[in-house]
Structure 1
Amino acid sequence: MNDLPFLQHFIVLPVLLPLLAGALLIPVKQSRYSLKFACSVTSTILLWVLAAVLLAMADGGYWPDGIGVYLASNWAAPFGIALLVDRLTALMLLLTATIALAVLVFSARRWDRVGIQFHTLFQFLLMGLNGAFLTNDLFNLFVFFEVMLAASYGLVLHGYNLHRIRAGMQYIAINLVASFMFLIGVALIYAASGTLNLTDLGARVALLGNEDTWLLSIGVCVLGLAFLTKGAMWPLGFWLPGTYASASAPVAAMLVLMTKVGVYAVLRVWLAVFGNDAGALAGFGFTALTIGGMATLFFGAIGMLASQDGGRMAGYGAIISSGTLLAVIGQAGGPVLASGLYYLLGSTLAMAAFMLLVELTERIRPPGAALIAITMEAFAIEDKPEDPVGQGIPGTLAFLGLSFAACALVISGMPPLSGFVAKFSLFHALLEVSPTEGKVPGLTWGFIALVIVGGLAAIIALMRLGVRIFWASGDIAPPRLQFSEAAPVTALVALCVMLTLQAGTVFDYLDRTVAGLAQVTTYSERVLGEPPVMRSPQRGLER
């Protein structure tokens, strides 16, 4: 690290790059679509490269224990802002950049021309997402959440119509309440512990007195409500299906990723603060996460079966995914968590691809269906852009059908793609680590049963939707697609296939990731022991 000290600044670039790109795009006139798109996609490609480099640095031994720490403003933790990169952070940054790049390409020549400042808001959204993954401080996590949400408010209303405005207002109101709870939870935690740095909080929690322990517990519960509202845990996720169904396809694909930020925050806080070294609070809330995740999974399965619209199905599919991940976090086991992270990767990629596919498959509907839909909106204003002229891509229907089938298999967890691999490995890990005195706990059996039921509900609902789209519409003409619309969907589906073919390599990486997350003391030593950069007149900068 001392040989190339400038590489340390790569940690902060995923925040600075989209911030600068978004700011530079503000004065560019909306009529200059090509220039805006070029700047935005260039920034996102650079983010992807940065994420890949950070992943290689975290997993390649560049930093001790695979943990990189960046002290913003050169103030030592816990008093200053500390950004942290480990294997999990780098993986989430790479996943974010991958989906963002696919969404941007899909939006070219269509959705980025509706309304104003699409690319500016998109870059600020990426800034908030990346900052939320990188920060090691609860207050700065709140700041990055607000940046992310503020940008998403504009994007959810992008290309507005009556349904979009109604769902967008609900989305904004719910998230404002969640942000208020977030701030109250942060205040209570600081009052109880005197710190908001996650690693420092994890080191102090076992030393707190009874009164401070109670106050910390209340603060964490309030904070958890904020996280779980954003992560769509039942009954807090009632807003999600309507928002997914009403948002434009590119924005809905990014909302899939945003939902995972709440789950990521729960994972980070609970593993850092309530591990085995937390004293009286060790294991606090893990059982509640398991039960809540199971309830969320069941709610998502029922909602998916009851849905007729592709967007609402995707929303309930995201709820099923969140419920599964929250229950996995509640199990607090290494192999179980590794399987959960593999499931997160596959389900997020497949759900993002499915949200883009929903718009493309809508073009198959006969003209009468569109007329009825317009009538049902009671002549509401519709700013959805006109369908592009596009081109007759050979085998368009086959492409849409195969992509739809692949997404359905991954989302439902049916063989042979990554969803099945994730669930099979999850069941194996649950049954391997859970037995106590020769018996598997009933809660574990209940979780396994709900995962199976959720998969069956998903495949039934998606098969019904596929039949209605591809077979029940009579004679249909192949829709004309832009290459920029087909390529992102193809890339995301191909990544799901690669995730299946390279499952062994991916699980090896995830096993190293989970093993590192369990070393709470190591994180504390790395973050709190990171020295500020000392400036010497004779020797320049040195540590």
Structure 2
Amino acid sequence: MSPVLEWMASLMPHLMLAPIMLPMLVAALMLLLKEEHQSIKVVLNIGATALGLLVAIALLVWADQAGSSTTLGVYLPGNWQAPFGIVLALDRLTALMLVLTSSIALASSVFAAARWHKAGVHFHPLFQLQLMGLSGAFLTADLFNLFVFFEIMLAASYGLLLHGSGRLRVQAGLHYIAINLAASSLFLIGVSMLYGITGTLNMADLAQAIPNVSSADRGLLHTAAGILATAFLIKAALWPLNFWLVPAYSAATAPVGALFALMTKVGIYTILRLWTLMFSSEAGESAAFGSMWLIAGGMLTMAFGGIGTLAATRLTHLAGYAAILSSGTLLAAIGFGQNMLTAGLLYYLPSSTLAVAILFMLADIMDRWRNDGSLTDFEDEEAPFLSAELVPTQGLNLDENERVLIGRAIPASAAFLGLAFIMCTLVVTGLPPLSGFIGKFAMLTNLINPMGLGQSAGYQAGQSGWVLLTLMISTGLFALIALTRAGIRHFWATHERGTPELRVAEGLPIAALMALCIVLTVKADHVMQYTQNAANALHAPGTYIQAVMATKPIPNPGQIVPNTSLRESQP
């Protein structure tokens, strides 16, 4: 390796701090600027988010280096060895979530620059603090700092949800705050109980301690895990804990709703990370604890989300129920504990999240077009060669004003919105040829053939697998009916509306997220290999545990450190 490459490789562990430090410093800087300097804040917000995306991509490439399924980066910010100090850990799953977060965040920040960032104060600092909380939750390797980053994320989301004011937004915001404060209390209770039983909050150390818990404390351990899981399942939108989600997300402004599409995935990520660590096949009597609850709860959530899409009359409500449907599918698949099924759900996760984020953005533009437009369609003078005087109408399709439909140009903005809506419909419902179909097909294949080549031991599918298969198909059909109905209402019943107003700052982020869905489809083999390696590492947590626990602090440059054990080395 050349000296330049060696120098860059030595910097990569330190780059793990950037997704946390960059938004924190930018938010602090923007708080020093007055609200009159909105243009500067817009540039800082978009620039910092774009830089964060580049950092996330670099970390993803680093996590996937050499094609190994065991690559893991560990960083000790306080230079104290685990389990005594703060630890950041990066693997394929973490890197995937960071890239997904930064991609949607960049699209949301650009979309907000069109109009919504002016609807209230401190939008841009809150936006960056939200990114700080999300990135920290994905990177941290201990429960205490997970709680800290959760609270940063939630505190910022309170302000973002209330951005734009309005009675309905304030009402939904108060409900959202109350529910999340209750979830935070459950988080603290669960963490306290786990610490009292195991004496540690480091995730890797917890995984080592759980098999050694005495039989007398095993029930208390499971109770603590259940309380902690309830806090995460509230964020993951498990039924019936998700009654708050649709009113809150639909009340948010469009860029905030798109960013909130990531919030449920934080709960999904945390459950997947902790469940595969704490209750793996090496957890003794606690192996696969809670799997049936995840499967049953996920299926009920899917049914609730599917029925909700049929009942939704607003596009924002439809997007909210689509997020619930996606979460239910992921939770049920997690509960089976099969590495190949996990690979499929990890492929499906970014696809569904991107589609929901696009739906929230589209809802704002399409509702504005539907409610504000009173202009007529293309007039004949815009296309004189289609006028009734020049074109014989006998035998041709005519509209309500007896104008010829054949050959009439479709407005570019309406065509763009229609194409984006069709793509979202295909991804959410799991229809070919886009990535939503590939993700669902991968999961369905492993449900039908649970003992395929390379499959890890987990809960065998059996009847539950067939029920999940049926639900995935039926809820996809429900979503298809609901989205088709919404498309007809917004695009076909437009005879008294003019061309929709679409700014470049609104169309560009939607197009970028659509392009990501296409990339996931075209590069499905590479992405699936990546998610398979990530799933294999999750279901064989020994490498994660060893890497976190064995990372040594960096010795003081002015101090000669003897060759002693890890726990005796000085930070």
Q: TM-score, normalised by structure 2?
A: 0.88
Residue identity in the other structure for 2:138: F
1:388 is aligned to: none
Q: 1:503 aligns with which of 524, 530, 540?
A: 524
CA offset digits 1:352-379 (Å, max 9, x no partner)? 011101011112214499xxxxxxxxxx
Q: Distance in 1 between matches of 2:89 and 2:42?
A: 30
Contact 1:276 1:283 in 2 (8 A): yes
Q: 1:530 aligns with which of 551, 561, 568?
A: 551
More displaced 10-residue stretch of structure 1: 146-155 or 104-113: 104-113
Q: 2:511 aligns with which of 480, 490, 498?
A: 490
Q: How far does residue 169 in structure 1 lie from its aligned partner after superposition?
A: 0.6
2:464 is aligned to: 443
Coordinate RMSD, CA, aligned: 2.1
Call closer, same or farther: CA 1:209–1:346 in 2, change over 3 Å: same
Q: Distance in 2 between matches of 1:290 and 1:238?
A: 19
Q: Distance in 2 between matches of 1:6 and 1:488?
A: 31
Correspondence 1:253 to 2:258: yes
1:344 is aligned to: 349
1:428 is aligned to: 445
Q: How far does residue 31 in structure 1 lie from its aligned partner after superposition?
A: 1.5
Call closer, same or farther: CA 1:152–1:440 in 2, change over 3 Å: closer
Correspondence 1:330 to 2:330: no
Correspondence 1:409 to 2:426: yes
Q: Distance in 2 between matches of 1:67 and 1:21?
A: 28
Contact 2:301 2:324 in 1 (8 A): yes
Q: 1:476 aligns with which of 487, 492, 497?
A: 497
Q: Distance in 1 between matches of 2:522 and 2:69?
A: 31
Q: 1:395 aligns with which of 401, 406, 412?
A: 412
Q: Distance in 2 between matches of 1:260 and 1:343?
A: 12
Question: How many matched pairs?
Answer: 517
Contact 2:277 2:541 in 1 (8 A): yes
Q: Distance in 1 between matches of 2:164 and 2:34?
A: 18
Contact 1:434 1:444 in 2 (8 A): no
1:91 is aligned to: 96
Residue identity in the other structure for 1:427: L
Q: Structure 2 matches for 1:118-517, cutoff 5 A?
A: 118-367=123-372, 395-433=412-450, 441-517=462-538
Residue identity in the other structure for 1:418: S
Q: Distance in 2 between matches of 1:323 and 1:509?
A: 23
Q: How far does residue 495 in structure 1 lie from its aligned partner after superposition?
A: 1.1
Q: Distance in 2 between matches of 1:104 and 1:329?
A: 32
Q: Distance in 2 between matches of 1:23 and 1:459?
A: 44
Identity %: 46
Correspondence 1:79 to 2:100: no
Q: Distance in 2 between matches of 1:271 and 1:44?
A: 31
User: What SS is found at the alignment partner of 1:515?
Assistant: helix
Contact 2:373 2:498 in 1 (8 A): no
Q: Distance in 1 between matches of 2:319 and 2:427?
A: 13
Residue identity in the other structure for 1:91: L
Q: Distance in 2 between matches of 1:46 and 1:525?
A: 32
Q: Distance in 1 between matches of 2:10 and 2:523?
A: 33
Contact 2:183 2:234 in 1 (8 A): yes
Gapped runs of 5+ residues in structure 2?
Answer: 375-409, 562-569
CA offset digits 1:449-484 (Å, max 9, x no partner)? 011111011010011011011112433201121101
Q: How far does residue 109 in structure 1 lie from its aligned partner after superposition?
A: 3.4
1:28 is aligned to: 33
Q: How far does residue 403 in structure 1 lie from its aligned partner after superposition?
A: 0.6
CA offset digits 1:10-36 (Å, max 9, x no partner)? 111110110000011002111111100
Q: How far does residue 6 in structure 1 lie from its aligned partner after superposition?
A: 3.1
Q: Distance in 1 between matches of 2:250 and 2:49?
A: 26
Call closer, same or farther: CA 1:156–1:516 in 2, change over 3 Å: same
Q: Distance in 2 between matches of 1:191 and 1:279?
A: 20
More displaced 10-residue stretch of structure 1: 478-487 or 125-134: 478-487
Contact 2:234 2:242 in 1 (8 A): yes
Larger Rg: 2
Call closer, same or farther: CA 1:303–1:64 in 2, change over 3 Å: closer
Q: How far does residue 2 in structure 1 lie from its aligned partner after superposition?
A: 7.3
Q: TM-score, normalised by structure 1?
A: 0.92
Q: Distance in 2 between matches of 1:348 and 1:147?
A: 22
Q: Distance in 1 between matches of 2:80 and 2:539?
A: 27
Residue identity in the other structure for 2:338: G
More displaced 10-residue stretch of structure 1: 271-280 or 33-42: 33-42
Q: Distance in 1 between matches of 2:10 and 2:342?
A: 34
Q: Distance in 2 between matches of 1:163 and 1:536?
A: 58
Contact 1:136 1:197 in 2 (8 A): yes
More displaced 10-residue stretch of structure 1: 123-132 or 104-113: 104-113
Q: How far does residue 536 in structure 1 lie from its aligned partner after superposition?
A: 2.9
Residue identity in the other structure for 2:474: V
Contact 1:83 1:135 in 2 (8 A): yes
Contact 2:373 2:500 in 1 (8 A): no
